[in-house]
Structure 1
Amino acid sequence: MPLVDMPLEKLKEYQGINPRPADFDAYWDRAIAEMRAVDPQVEMVRSSFQTPQADCFDLYFTGVRGARIHAKYVRPKNVSEPHPAVVLFHGYTGSAGDWSDKLAYASLGFSVLAMDCRGQGGTSEDVGGVKGNTHHGHIIRGLDDQPDNLLFRHIYLDTAQLAGIALGLPEVDPERVYAAGGSQGGALTIACAALEPRVKKLAPVYPFLCDYKRTWQMDLAKDAYQELRTYFRHFDPLHEREDEIFEKLGYIDLQYLANRIRGDVLMFVGLMDTICPPSTQFAAYNKITAPKQLAIYPDFGHEGLPGSGDRTIQFFLNS
């Protein structure tokens, strides 16, 4: 078959090339402590969208640095409690999406919490200097500041905070809280389960935000990663700071958070993916020490993967 990356046998051994900051663990321990010190001030507002089978709420909470984060919360009716819950994450620049696409899980007795990433296509705030959407460029937000101000640091913490809220809901079984998403959503699924290790199962689909330097090396800093090229062109055209930049990106490189995951993992990858190269995804997968399985689609890229949704549901149902 044609290759866009390494042969599969090498992918299974690949360990990534983006530098890992020496203080990486201290960085994230400090970040988690900051998150835990925040009063989330959770608020639920009944939505205008309702169904006979589920109650729908707009859920708001305060994340790190004071941003109000929005998630859609769908709670099944007439289901014995406590019941399972799944936390869902969307693709880059998107939003939590329609209420209707959460109803499949609700029909199976799951509560669903779907987060709007701060500053992207939904209604969560990005308070880093402006209110309202910033929509794109989130990988490079904070590169010219202290590492603690990287925007994706805050977004990763939002995912863990939302999972913690789910774990604390009286109707939810804390032993059956799961996470799922594709692309950026796959990345945030990994971040969520790494920073909130009580998440029992996770199903990331071709995760973004892994091994930035490998993406650069493959000349794939375009599409979802275009902002890396734009940053160098505008702010470091001679690449005099290249090592410094990739090391700082290492703080938000999910391959280095993956070993914190304790839940069971079902990950999906397409070997023809030129948006999130397979090697970058394997860099994270190969560092997961929890029980894990990989669904490999040899002929597929960054697109719908047939059967992946069904398999994810079966994975979550088989507790």
Structure 2
Amino acid sequence: MKKVLFSFCFLLVLLVGSSLGLEAQPAQKLVNVVVSPDRTDWKYKQKEEVTFTVQVFRNENLLKDVVVDYEVGPEYFPVKKEADVLLKNGKITLKGSMNEPGFLRCKVIAKVDGRNYEGMATVAVDEEKIRPTTADPKDFDSFWKQAIEDARKTSLDPKMVLMPERCTSTQNVYHVSFQNERPRSRMYGILVVPKKEGVYPAILQVPGAGIRPYNGMNLGDDVITLEIGIHGIPVNMPQEVYNNLASGALNGYPGINKNDRDAHYYKRVYLGCVRAVDFIFSLPEFDGSTVGVTGGSQGGALSIVTAGLDSRIKFLAAFYPALCDYAGYLHLRAGGWPHYYRNAKPGPNEVETLAYFDVVNFARRVNAPGWYSWGYNDVTCPPTSMYSAYNVIPGAKELHLYLETGHWTYPEQNAAWFQWLKEMYK
């Protein structure tokens, strides 16, 4: 019986991980490029030399006479680059160091039979000393306090439509919507409610980036879950509709009005997360107190934002949060997704506006206990950007590192997340 229960929970974790927008572990390739730091914890101090051992394998043996390109340096700012280096024995040693806190990356591309195979290792350099480069606006709190008060002048006007095809013997599943920051601006989601009479804790799931339908998050029969979309459109339409929006009206949505704090796209998104908590509190099946928030990437960011804005959040779990420390690139270090300034200079009032939406400034205000998890090889949400937020969180926090991961998770990582959530709402 225990084995059956474990198998069910493991499958549930995989399914939930998929709905969180977490990327699956990459498949094994024919040629494997292994980059190994000389310390098992991948942690160093400023000015310490780091030695990377690079090995290129095929059929589990070192590949002789292989040609590689490599670069070594801070994320996105390599200081040493070489192309077409011949490795007679399939192996090379590279060295590097940093004079300030951050992350040092060694990336190697092996070129075999017309194909490129990439490997990397990214090591921490006094990572606990990383601090945000984005300014904390003096009126940050008053701006968001007023925005939430103004949004709540609009009634929730909740609508719930039962989805019989998704219901189970123990759960009711609804397609729901409620008004957000102004009349007829609605948020949509999938609500899962236990059928058994009683009151329950609740989890708000906030989404990763993109435009797509949602299936809802099923964590079991002892908790309410609400999975929301952020774009103000139903979340149960055909995939073609979302594809068209992604290529059309919502293309590049993170950059919409990024020079106007009252019109920036993420303002209604952040307010919609708070309104989602309002909606949860309106449910008769909710226990009136125990509510957490979780998500990955953009959803990791929104988890921190929601906890920073709403003191009703009792706990949060965030995978590799995006939207952290946009201004990093202006200080010659990696900034967070969507990398506004990686390849472009800021326009008038952009830096000032985006400070009101940067996750680091919500992180400064998170007092709820949190579970966080990421890896050092993430190129979508660079670890420098994530640590800039994590290091300023005042609340209780625990960081679960899976060093070699990029913007993806291991099943064991998802299982740890699932277990922590269960412990928090039990």
Q: Settle same-fold status: TM greater than 0.5.
A: yes
What corresponds to 1:236 in structure 2? Answer: none
1:268 to 368, 373, 379: 373
Deviation at 1:18? Answer: 2.0
Change (3 A) 1:92 1:215: farther
What corresponds to 2:21 in structure 1? Answer: none
Answer yes or no: is the 8 Å Cα contact 1:186–1:206 preserved in 2.
yes
What corresponds to 2:200 in structure 1? Answer: 83
**SS in structure 1 of the partner of residue 395 of structure 2:** coil
1:32 to 148, 167, 175: 148
2:256 to 141, 144, 147: 141
Per-residue CA shift, 1:170-203, capped at 9, x if unaligned?
2112332111110011111111111121111100
Distance 1:73 1:157 in 2: 19
1:245 counterpart letter in structure 2 = E
How do residues 281-300 of structure 1 correspond to structure 2 at under 5 angstroms? 281-300=386-405
The structure in which a higher percent of residues are strand is 2
Are 2:285 and 1:153 aligned? Answer: no
Change (3 A) 1:36 1:20: same
Which structure exhibits the higher relative contact order, with contacts defined as CA atoms closer than 8 Å and separated by 6 or more residues? 1
Distance 1:188 1:307 in 2: 23
Per-residue CA shift, 1:197-225, capped at 9, x if unaligned?
11111001001111012256668689x52
Higher deviation after alignment, 47-56 or 2-11: 2-11
**SS in structure 1 of the partner of residue 231 of structure 2:** coil
Distance 1:65 1:229 in 2: 34
Change (3 A) 1:308 1:173: farther
Answer yes or no: is the 8 Å Cα contact 1:21–1:248 preserved in 2.
no
The structure in which a higher percent of residues are helix is 1
Deviation at 1:247? Answer: 2.1
2:313 counterpart letter in structure 1 = V
Change (3 A) 1:81 1:65: same
Change (3 A) 1:157 1:64: same
**SS in structure 1 of the partner of residue 262 of structure 2:** helix
Distance 2:204 2:293 in 1: 5
Distance 1:157 1:40 in 2: 12
What corresponds to 1:197 in structure 2? Answer: 311
Are 2:192 and 1:74 aligned? Answer: yes
What corresponds to 2:28 in structure 1? Answer: none
Answer yes or no: is the 8 Å Cα contact 1:203–1:265 preserved in 2.
yes
**SS in structure 2 of the partner of residue 188 of structure 1:** helix
2:186 counterpart letter in structure 1 = R
Distance 1:215 1:120 in 2: 33
What corresponds to 2:170 in structure 1? Answer: 53
Answer yes or no: is the 8 Å Cα contact 1:270–1:301 preserved in 2.
yes
What corresponds to 2:15 in structure 1? Answer: none
What corresponds to 1:301 in structure 2? Answer: 406
Per-residue CA shift, 1:65-122, capped at 9, x if unaligned?
33111010011222x52211111112101445224xx23x133x11110001115894
Distance 1:164 1:86 in 2: 13
**SS in structure 1 of the partner of residue 302 of structure 2:** helix
**SS in structure 2 of the partner of residue 257 of structure 1:** helix
Distance 1:92 1:147 in 2: 20
1:34 counterpart letter in structure 2 = D
Answer yes or no: is the 8 Å Cα contact 2:296–2:320 preserved in 1.
yes
What corresponds to 1:13 in structure 2? Answer: 129
Deviation at 1:312? Answer: 2.1
**SS in structure 1 of the partner of residue 338 of structure 2:** helix
How do residues 206-225 of structure 1 correspond to structure 2 at under 5 angstroms? 206-215=320-329, 225=338
1:93 to 195, 199, 210: 210
1:86 counterpart letter in structure 2 = I
Distance 1:87 1:141 in 2: 25
1:142 counterpart letter in structure 2 = N
What corresponds to 2:349 in structure 1? Answer: 244
Answer yes or no: is the 8 Å Cα contact 1:86–1:180 preserved in 2.
yes
Deviation at 1:290? Answer: 1.1
